[in-house]
């Protein structure tokens, strides 16, 4: 007989009831069976072979008890060596055949599962890349990663566990019951009477463990979160600067202590019920032996038949329990599909046009024509009736107080957002009529927050232009005033920048980002407060790089420090999403309006600091 603990974990591991979270997920986002089946349709022949192998393996395995009966009742008593050799050879053949079938079935089912997972992972990743920035500001990064890894990874169980388990267990149960009835219908009835209480007890213990396991999973999630928060570069830096290390260690120790208690409870859960079950399971073969020994119930049963029957009966419990829990497994599997399909069904707000326009020769003139924009949850429009023109090769500076709409207006050029009203054009063509790839080649963006990949400097630069030559890469770095910094490093361009570029200073990271943008050689540059977070000396170095980058290009710059926009060809002053003034620095100062007041306020702040 299989051990009680093992049967508990195998037969009742799902807890006999669907997870309420899985049921809620399916109620919120139902999944059609046809959509799931469509994922596996390209592999229908492989799946048919898998099912055939499972059925064949289960059927072949049922021959073993009958061969045992043949050995005990005939071959050994009659000293029939030839029959004994055939029977023993048959047992070995059954083992070899089922093992081969199992290897082939595992290979096929795993391959199909992995190919389906690969297709889903790629589809979800590609689809999420097409989402607007609003999606990522609303969604936790950990949730996106969980969908791509945990949920899609768990889907493999649909093929390698749920589906194959159902086919295998159903075949085994049906074949075993038929074989038991063929050996002795009296003992079969006795087994059927004893099995129900064993099943009920098993499911109760499984439910108890299910509750404890859920608590343990929550504690594990807290533990993982604490590891991520406390041992990342940013987390360690925060802990050291705030002196929070001891408190974090105490919190971690407390969560770990909770896990110890939960693990002990999990192992002890239902122990008395399991003791009762052990008595039941010990009683089943005892009753079978008793029935076989009593003249009234034996029906002339042989020892070989008895041994063969108890072998079959002992192998019946596990597949029967797993069949009873198939509904729970299906609910869990469908909930995984539901979560992933939710992402695949997200509408794409900013997408390529149906009939894109190609710009053969880009001059770089940018126009904002009656542009308005409102965020979905915004109380008032972020932009309203904006009309601006930036001639090719000229510089437009956007200034205004925080929240005036500067960054929102600049984001429309690169189609990080689309205007709610009006349009943005490049050389007279609406940017929504260009493919996103073409627009990315025309418009380069350097933001205030620099993001560097955790790789080498070379990999970071080539991320913008994978086919760039070393000469092009070095030229871009020189124009960004960062080549000398890179050349002075022991590994040069093969230096690893570290997580989020922590190995470099803010100014160096900013110049690396400028070099990365220049490598694509865009005709239009959008500089979103690229120097606002830097000290004065570093700002001058980065500003020199920006000035070099802007040479000969159409440039739209957003400046927190007004000293960086004095030389702009045109300055537009925004207030509450509207352009209230525009002109050169001298013109606007002479006007004595909002821009002049902003400049005066900035100069007074500098005097106070000095």
Digit-coded pLDDT (tens) for 555-584: 898 876 666 677 888 999 998 889 998 988
- Does residue 606 register a pLDDT over 50? no
- Look at residue 10 in the predicted model and tell me its pLDDT: 42
With pLDDT > 70 as the criterion, what percentage of the chain qualifies?
A: 73
Q: What span, in angstroms and rounded, lies between the C-alpha atoms of 162 and 330?
A: 7
Look at residue 66 and tell me whether its pLDDT is greater than 80. Answer: yes
Tens-digit pLDDT profile for residues 478-533: 888 888 888 888 888 888 887 666 677 777 888 888 888 888 888 898 887 655 55
The stretches of 354-482 forming alpha helices (DSSP H) are 406-413, 436-442, 457-462, 470-479
CA distance 442 to 428: 14
Q: Collect contacts of 585-591 with beta carbons under 8 A, ≥24 apart.
A: none
Q: Where are the alpha helices (DSSP H) in 14-80?
A: 20-28, 33-40, 44-61, 63-70
Q: Residues 8, 205: contact at Cβ < 8 Å?
A: yes
DSSP H/E element including 271: helix 271-293
Q: Which residues contact 191 (CB under 8 A, 6 or more apart)?
A: 180, 284, 288, 313, 316
CB 281 within 8 A of CB 315: no
Sheet containing strand 443-447, strands side by side:
443-447, 524-528, 554-558, 395-399, 570-575, 578-583
Nearest-5° Cα angle at 525, 576 to 521: 165
Distance, C-alpha 162 to centroid of its chain? 22
| pLDDT category of residue 316 using cuts at 50, 70 and 90 | confident
Residue 28 has pLDDT above 50, yes or no: yes
pLDDT band at 274 (very low <50, low <70, confident <90, very high): low
Instruction: Give residue-wise pLDDT tens across range 321-346.
Output: 677 666 666 777 777 788 888 888 88
pLDDT computed for residue 468 by the predictor: 87
Bridge-partner residues for 340, per DSSP?
Answer: none
Q: Report which listed range, 47-56, 197-206, 260-269, 545-554, is most confident.
A: 47-56
pLDDT score at 36: 82
pLDDT band at 601 (very low <50, low <70, confident <90, very high): confident
Percentages helix, strand, coil for the chain, rounded to the nearest 5?
65, 10, 25
Average pLDDT value for residue range 524-551: 69
pTM above 0.75, yes or no: no
pLDDT at 7: 43
Burial of 134 (0-12, 13-18, 19+ CB in 10 A): middle
**Which is higher by pLDDT, 460 or 251?**
460
- Average predicted confidence (pLDDT) for the chain: 77
Burial of 104 (0-12, 13-18, 19+ CB in 10 A): middle
Q: Which is nearest to 571 in space by CA: 337, 388, 348, 416?
A: 388
Question: According to the per-residue pLDDT averaged within each range, which of 69-73, 374-378, 557-561 is highest?
Answer: 69-73
Contact (Cβ atoms closer than 8 angstroms) between residue 409 and residue 386: yes
CA distance from start to end of the chain:
86
- The pLDDT confidence band at residue 362, using thresholds 50, 70 and 90, is confident
């Amino acid at each position: 007989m299989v051990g009680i603990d093992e049967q508990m974990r195998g037969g009742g591991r799902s807890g006999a009831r669907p997870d309420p979270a899985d049921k809620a997920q399916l109620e919120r986002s139902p999944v059609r069976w046809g959509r799931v089946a469509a994922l596996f349709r390209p592999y229908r022949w492989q799946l048919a072979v898998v099912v055939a192998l499972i059925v064949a393996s289960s059927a072949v395995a049922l021959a073993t008890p009958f061969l045992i009966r043949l050995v005990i009742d005939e071959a050994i008593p009659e000293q029939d060596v030839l029959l004994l050799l055939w029977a023993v050879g048959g047992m070995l053949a059954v083992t070899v055949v089922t093992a081969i079938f199992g290897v082939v079935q595992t290979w096929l089912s795993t391959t199909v599962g992995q190919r389906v997972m690969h297709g889903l992972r790629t589809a979800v990743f590609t689809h999420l890349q097409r989402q607007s920035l609003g999606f990522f500001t609303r969604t936790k990064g950990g949730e996106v990663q969980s969908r791509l890894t945990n949920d899609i990874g768990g889907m493999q169980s649909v093929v390698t566990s749920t589906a194959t388990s159902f086919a295998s267990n159903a075949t085994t149960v049906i074949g075993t019951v038929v074989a038991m009835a063929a050996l002795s219908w009296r003992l079969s009835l006795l087994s059927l009477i004893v099995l129900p209480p064993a099943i009920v007890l098993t499911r109760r213990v499984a439910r108890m463990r299910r509750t404890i396991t859920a608590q343990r999973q929550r504690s594990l999630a807290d533990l993982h979160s604490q590891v991520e928060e406390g041992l990342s570069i940013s987390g360690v830096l925060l802990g050291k600067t705030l002196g929070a290390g001891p408190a974090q260690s105490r919190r971690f120790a407390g969560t770990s202590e909770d896990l110890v208690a939960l693990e002990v409870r999990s192992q002890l859960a239902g122990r008395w019920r399991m003791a009762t079950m052990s008595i039941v399971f010990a009683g089943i073969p005892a009753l079978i032996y008793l029935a076989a020994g009593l003249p009234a119930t034996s029906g002339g049963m042989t020892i070989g038949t008895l041994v063969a029957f108890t072998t079959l009966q002992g192998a019946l419990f596990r597949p029967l329990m797993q069949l009873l829990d198939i509904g729970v497994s299906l609910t869990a599997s469908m909930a995984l599909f539901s979560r992933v399909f939710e992402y695949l069904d997200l509408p794409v707000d900013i997408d390529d046009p149906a009939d894109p326009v190609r710009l053969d020769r880009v001059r770089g003139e940018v126009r904002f024509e009656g542009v308005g924009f409102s965020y979905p949850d915004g109380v008032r429009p972020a932009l309203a009736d904006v009309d601006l023109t930036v001639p090719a090769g000229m510089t437009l500076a956007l200034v205004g107080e925080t929240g005036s709409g500067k960054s929102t207006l600049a984001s429309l050029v690169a189609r990080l957002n689309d205007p709610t009203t009006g349009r943005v054009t490049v050389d007279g063509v609406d940017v929504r009529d260009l493919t996103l790839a073409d627009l990315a080649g025309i418009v380069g963006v350097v933001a205030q927050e620099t993001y560097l990949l955790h790789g080498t400097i070379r990999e970071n630069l080539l991320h913008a232009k994978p086919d760039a030559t070393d000469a092009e890469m070095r030229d871009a770095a020189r124009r960004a005033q960062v080549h000398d910094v890179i050349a002075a490093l022991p590994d040069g361009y093969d230096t690893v920048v570290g997580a989020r570029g922590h190995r470099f200073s803010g100014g160096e990271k900013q110049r690396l980002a400028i070099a990365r943008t220049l490598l694509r050689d865009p005709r239009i540059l959008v500089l979103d407060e690229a120097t606002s977070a830097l000290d004065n000396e570093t700002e001058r170095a980065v500003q020199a790089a920006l000035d070099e980058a802007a040479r000969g290009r159409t440039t739209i710059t957003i400046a927190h420090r007004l000293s960086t926009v004095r030389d702009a060809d045109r300055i537009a002053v925004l207030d509450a999403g509207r352009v209230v003034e525009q002109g050169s620095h001298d013109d606007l100062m002479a006007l004595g309006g909002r821009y002049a007041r902003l400049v005066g306020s900035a100069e007074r702040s500098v005097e106070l600091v000095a």
